[in-house]
Structures are given as C-alpha cells and as structure tokens.
C-alpha cells in the first residue's frame, strides 16, 4: 500500500569536497549578475532546489518501500479469509551491528544516522531491569486498532516491542488497513472482528496473548475476551471503549455530556443503502483530524494518518455486547488513560473505569487520542510494565 511510510529514512548523502582551484576573472562579465553577492544567491537557490528534490525523493522511497513490504506479505505470507492480512512485523528488517561495541541498537536496513526523534532507550535497558521473556506468561502482543485506523498506526510500538524480543501481531480488522472487505457491507461486530478471532482460534493449546485495544478496538477485544478467555493473558484498553454488559459503543459515547462541536463537525455519515435507511459507515473530516485525534502528534504521523485512515462501519458501533463475569470477567484488565484526548476526553474514560473497574489504571500525560504517535516511548514502557505483572 503506497501510502504507508517506512520506519526509517535513507542515509543522508555525503557531500564531496571540491578541489580548490583559482578562478580567473572574466573580463567580459559585468553588472549585478556577475558580482560575489550574485554568486552566493545562485548557490543558495541551487542548494535549496537540491534539498527540495532530496526530500521529495525520500518521501517517494518511503512509499515504495512500504508498498513493497505489504505486497510481499500479501503474496508470500498467506492471507486469511476475506483478505485479512495480519501486520505482524514492523516495516523494517533489522540486522546485527558489526564491530565490537556493546549494547548498541540493531541497525535498520536503511543504515541512516540517528535523528533527534529516534528512541533514546535501548532494548537492554528494560530487559536488564528484570524482564526475562522466558519467565513471562506470554511474550506475544496482539494490537487492535481503533475506528478508521489500521495496523499501520502501531508501527512505532511494533518496532519498540520487537527490539525487546517480543512477538507482535498488529491486526487489520475487516475493511481496515489493507484488508479488502467492503466496509459498507459489514453488518455485525462478529464480522468486523473476524480477523482477530481467527488468530485467537488458531492459537495452540495453552498459548496465550496480551490484547491491546485502542478506541473502538476496546469493544473488539471485549468481544474476543468473551469468546476466548483462556487464550488471553491480559487485556489492555488504550483510550478505548471499555463497555459493560448490554452496552454498545454508541451508548458509551452518549454518556459524554454535551458532545463537542469538533466531533459533530468531523463526522460524515455514509448512506450506501439510501438516506431512508441507517448509515452504513462514518468518515471523519480530514481537515479536522489534527485537532480531534492528533493534537499532540508529530506532523509526519498526522500526514500518514490522513492518507491511510478509512471509514468506520456503523453497525458494529450500534451492537450491544453480551459480557459475562465467568468469561469476560475472568480476564485481567488494565486501562491506559490519555490526558490530552479530544476524541474520548479523560472524563469519559474515567466514567468507563468507574463503571467497570479494571485491575489497574495508568495515565499518559501529554498523550492525545493517538498515544502510539504522541507518546510512543511512554506507551512502550507501560506495555512492558503490564507484561511483567505476574499471574495471580
């Protein structure tokens, strides 16, 4: 899919030093265009042009690399029914660092220089603090995106967890990401979450995973918890819909006193079956994405989201969940609140926590509705902390 960005940028070109040579004055040159100030201005314009061309080339290379990776997954990885393709690897392949230096991060295939936005924490920093993967109940994270998102939104989280040795599966739900299912044809929550339930159903006997659900993904993992409680070690709700029995996601949003004008303006209902019938999907106005979802996120991630987000199926949002204490209630739950969230404000998150208290609540300061973009390192640290909580 050409609109997905590669995790790592290509190396910066090394400028070759030109040999020093004396220039003879040109007796025929005269006027403002031949003076030293004009030469400096020409060089500045030339440098700016080269820089613009280089940045365009970088963006194009990102898109081509991501498209190639997804093409290989689709054609060589063996898809699932309905076009579901789990995005269970990060978008770059890592190779060990050559040389004798210890405790270095693995280099990416791009081999570029570190930038100020790169993670500063190295994998061994957490592993040396007491995390031993073979002593955990499970080292497998399954990441479930929210409404309109896809597996692509987890690219930073995937990379950080994989560098710590965890197995990571980021799922594209039906009609999302690179899943080809018609979003307007989704009539139930079970149909929407089938790519997730397929994965859980195929787990070996005794194998467990940690589910992480973001936004509407909270309702999706709740549905899975009711079906496969013995296959889920822990469930983490990340700024997510954590519902009670008989409640729908729409019911949850209706609890928000005075829905913000921003949310109302952003919603675009799609009526594939005609205006006399209920909507089939919801779109979000891309001009309002920054203020609604990404008010603390980097611009490059907002750009990624603006070309990658898809419609949200409406029927699953209306569906009321059937959750039992025996099954859903037997799975250990954790909630991560995002304190700068404009889509699901912290007051609404706390209402859900109070209605159905989880085992523990964490708070991410400075995180908007997309903490995997705005606070990837802090989110990563919390996921590791939850992963190493011992079984009861």
Q: Give the domain CATH number at 344.
A: 3.40.50.1820
Whether 242 and 255 have beta carbons less than 8 Å apart is answered as no
Active site residue 172: no
The predicted model scores a pTM of 0.69
Dist CA 106 CA 121 (whole Å) = 12
Task: Using CB atoms within 10 Å of the CB of residue 113, give its burial: 0 to 12 exposed, 13 to 18 middle, 19+ buried.
Answer: exposed
pLDDT of residue 219: 98
State which residues form the domain around 312: 133-388
Q: 360-364 and 209-214: which strand pairing?
A: unpaired
Q: Which of 215, 301, 368, 380 is catalytic?
A: 215
Q: Is 369 an active-site residue?
A: yes
Q: Catalytic residue at 62?
A: no
Residue 53 covered by a domain: no
Instruction: Spell out the residues 6+ positions from residue 264 whose beta carbon is closer than 8 angstroms to its own.
Output: none
In a domain, 59, yes or no: no
Considering the domain boundaries, does residue 49 fall inside one? no
Q: Given 145, 341, 368, 380, which residue is catalytic?
A: 341
pLDDT by residue for the chain (392 residues), tens digit each?
Answer: 433 333 334 444 444 445 444 444 444 444 444 444 445 444 545 555 555 555 555 555 555 555 555 545 445 444 434 444 444 433 333 333 333 344 443 433 333 344 444 444 444 444 445 568 878 889 999 999 999 999 999 999 999 999 999 999 999 999 999 999 999 999 999 999 999 999 999 999 999 999 999 999 999 999 999 999 999 999 999 999 999 999 999 998 887 655 567 888 899 999 999 999 999 999 999 999 999 999 999 999 999 999 999 999 999 999 999 999 999 999 999 999 999 999 999 999 999 999 999 999 999 999 999 999 999 999 999 999 999 998 86
Helix (H, G, I), strand (E, B) or coil at 91: coil
What pLDDT was estimated at residue 90? 38
d(CA 251, CA 254): 5
Query: Looking at the 3D structure of the chain, how many domains does it have?
Result: 1
Residue 78 lies in a domain: no
C-alpha 290, offset from chain centre: 15
In a domain, 31, yes or no: no
Residue 149 lies in a domain: yes
From 140, 145, 369, 380, active-site residue: 369
Question: What does the pLDDT read at residue 258?
Answer: 54
Residue 342 contacts residue 245 (beta carbons within 8 Å): no
> pLDDT tens across 237-291, in order?
999 999 999 999 999 888 765 556 788 889 999 999 999 999 999 999 999 999 9
Asked if residue 177 belongs to a domain, the reply is: yes
Asked, for residue 361, whether it belongs to a domain, the answer is yes
Angle between helices 217-227 and 194-201 (to 10 degrees): 40
Q: What local confidence, expressed as pLDDT, does residue 63 receive?
A: 53
């Amino acid at each position: 899919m050409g609109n997905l960005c590669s995790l790592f940028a290509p190396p910066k070109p090394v400028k070759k030093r030109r040999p020093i040579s004396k220039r003879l004055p040109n007796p025929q040159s005269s006027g403002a265009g031949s003076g030293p100030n004009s030469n400096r201005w020409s060089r500045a314009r030339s440098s700016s042009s080269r820089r613009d061309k280089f940045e365009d080339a970088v963006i194009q290379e990102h898109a081509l690399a991501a498209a190639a990776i997804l093409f290989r997954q689709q054609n060589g990885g063996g898809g699932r029914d309905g076009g579901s393709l789990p995005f269970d690897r990060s978008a770059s392949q890592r190779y060990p660092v050559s040389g004798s230096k210890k405790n270095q991060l693995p280099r990416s295939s791009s081999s570029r220089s570190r930038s100020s936005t790169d993670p500063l924490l190295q994998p061994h920093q957490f592993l040396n603090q007491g995390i031993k993967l073979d002593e955990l109940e499970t080292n497998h994270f399954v990441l479930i995106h929210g409404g309109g998102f896809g597996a692509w939104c987890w690219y930073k989280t995937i990379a950080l967890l994989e560098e710590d040795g965890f197995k990571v599966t980021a799922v594209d739900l039906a009609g999302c990401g690179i899943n080809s299912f018609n979003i307007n044809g989704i009539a139930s929550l079970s149909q929407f979450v089938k790519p997730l339930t397929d994965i859980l159903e195929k787990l070996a006997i005794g194998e467990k995973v940690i589910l992480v659900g973001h936004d509407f993904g909270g309702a999706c993992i709740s549905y899975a918890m009711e079906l496969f409680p013995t296959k889920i070690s822990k469930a983490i709700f990340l700024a997510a819909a954590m519902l009670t029995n008989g409640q729908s996601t729409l019911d949850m949003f209706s609890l928000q006193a005075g829905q913000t004008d921003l949310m109302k303006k952003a919603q675009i209902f799609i009526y594939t079956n005609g205006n006399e019938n209920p909507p089939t999907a919801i779109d979000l106005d891309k001009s309002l994405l920054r203020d609604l979802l990404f008010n603390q996120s980097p611009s490059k991630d907002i750009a990624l989201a603006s070309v990658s987000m898809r419609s949200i199926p409406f029927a699953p949002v209306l569906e009321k969940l059937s959750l039992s204490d025996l099954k859903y209630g037997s799975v250990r739950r954790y909630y991560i609140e995002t304190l700068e969230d404009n889509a699901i404000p912290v007051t609404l998150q706390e209402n859900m926590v109070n209605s159905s208290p989880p085992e523990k609540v964490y708070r991410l300061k400075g995180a908007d509705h997309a903490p995997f973009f705005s606070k990837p390192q802090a989110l990563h640290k919390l996921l590791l902390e939850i992963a190493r909580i011992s079984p009861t």
